[in-house]
């Protein structure tokens, strides 16, 4: 079983701040980490490695420093890592990102399962996984929190929906997006980390030419999205503080709640 896990390097914050002048994300001074949902996808892949001797590949698109998250993934126990990096990829929206990832996945080839996070904490669109599945014409299952079994070329998995859970069997190859798994992702092992940072580490670096991408498919030229303006929404809520004696404050709060017809 050959698995490819897609991991994105993201700033270690859920409070994304925007530069007021340029509208760009402020990344300076913020540490970078493996996107939390992707770390969970890594853990599920490594559980499949433990149980079925799966080969686990990791793929990331980003600037050269994204090599750090790939090294960490190798430290956790992954077998091979590929970094997609090229100035031509800059300015890519989710469509152009999915095209690049799709082409790289074709080059990796022979995969049975692609695992990605449900959503990245910086871009937050949850579009990349499903778009890659469409690009590669693969079945996709989103919001998966458990892979129960791999047998006869298919996996049985559990996904969450609004009402509870669904158990599904999916023929491979397929793409699965992951979140809310029940086990904590494992820590990298020191020896693996040292090996991952050595010159012999199994990390390959691919550019646009390596994946056979045309210039008009990449970066801004290949993006369907046009950002007209970015801004932080102004909060319309006005808070009211009730201070002083507690019973008195509580009855004032209840009065307000009744006034708003939230309580009869």
Ligand X SMILES: Cc1cc2nc3c(=O)[nH]c(=O)nc-3n(C[C@H](O)[C@H](O)[C@H](O)COP(=O)(O)OP(=O)(O)OC[C@H]3O[C@@H](n4cnc5c(N)ncnc54)[C@H](O)[C@@H]3O)c2cc1C
Q: What residues line the site for ligand X (CB under 6 A)?
A: 6-8, 35, 37-38, 60-62, 90-94, 97, 116-117, 119-120, 122-129, 223, 225, 227
- Nearest to ligand X of 90, 257 (CB atom): 90
- Nearest to ligand X of 36, 77 (CB atom): 36
State in angstroms the smallest separation of the CB of 5 from ligand X. Answer: 7
Sheet with 113-117, edge to edge strand ranges: 165-171, 154-160, 140-151, 174-178, 113-117, 2-6, 55-61, 80-84, 203-206
State in angstroms the smallest separation of the CB of 66 from ligand X. Answer: 8
State in angstroms the smallest separation of the CB of 9 from ligand X. Answer: 8
The residue among 115, 102, 142, 108 whose CA lies nearest residue 5 is 115
State in angstroms the smallest separation of the CB of 47 from ligand X. Answer: 17
Between CA 243 and CA 169 the distance in angstroms is 57
Task: Count the Cβ atoms, other than its own, within 10 Å of residue 63.
Answer: 15
- Nearest to ligand X of 87, 149 (CB atom): 87
Between CA 148 and CA 140 the distance in angstroms is 17
The residues, any chain, with a CB within 8 Å of residue 248's CB and separated by 6 or more, are none
The residue among 192, 245, 206 whose CA lies nearest residue 106 is 206
State in angstroms the smallest separation of the CB of 231 from ligand X. Answer: 15
CB 211 within 8 A of CB 84: yes
- Nearest to ligand X of 2, 8 (CB atom): 8
- Nearest to ligand X of 95, 242 (CB atom): 95
Burial of 156 (0-12, 13-18, 19+ CB in 10 A): middle
- Nearest to ligand X of 226, 243 (CB atom): 226
User: For ligand X, which residue has the nearest CB?
Assistant: 123
State in angstroms the smallest separation of the CB of 253 from ligand X. Answer: 38
- Nearest to ligand X of 179, 191 (CB atom): 179
The residues, any chain, with a CB within 8 Å of residue 228's CB and separated by 6 or more, are none
Between CA 35 and CA 150 the distance in angstroms is 26
State in angstroms the smallest separation of the CB of 119 from ligand X. Answer: 4
């Amino acid at each position: 079983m050959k698995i490819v896990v897609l991991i994105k390097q993201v700033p270690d914050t859920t409070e994304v701040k925007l530069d007021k002048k340029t509208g760009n994300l402020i990344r300076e001074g913020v540490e970078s980490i493996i996107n939390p949902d992707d770390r969970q996808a890594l853990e599920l892949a490594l559980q499949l490695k433990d149980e079925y001797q799966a080969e686990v590949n990791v793929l990331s698109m980003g600037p050269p420093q994204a090599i750090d998250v790939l090294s960490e993934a190798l430290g956790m126990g992954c077998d091979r890592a590929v970094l997609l990096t090229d100035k031509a990829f800059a300015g890519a929206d989710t469509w152009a990102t999915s095209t690049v990832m799709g082409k790289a996945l074709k080059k990796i080839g022979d995969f049975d399962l692609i695992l990605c996070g449900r959503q990245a904490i910086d871009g937050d669109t949850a579009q990349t996984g499903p778009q890659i599945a469409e690009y590669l014409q693969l079945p996709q299952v989103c919001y998966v929190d458990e892979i129960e079994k791999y047998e006869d070329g298919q996996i049985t998995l559990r996904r969450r929906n609004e009402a509870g859970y669904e158990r599904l069997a999916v023929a491979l190859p397929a793409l699965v997006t992951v979140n809310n798994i029940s086990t904590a992702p494992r820590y990298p092992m020191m020896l693996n980390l040292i090996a991952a940072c050595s010159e012999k580490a199994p990390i390959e670096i691919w550019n646009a030419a390596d994946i056979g991408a045309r210039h008009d498919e990449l970066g801004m030229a290949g993006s369907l999205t046009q950002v007209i303006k970015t801004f932080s929404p102004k909060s319309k809520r006005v808070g009211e503080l009730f201070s002083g004696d507690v019973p008195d404050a509580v009855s004032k709060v209840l009065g307000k709640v009744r006034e708003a017809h939230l309580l009869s």
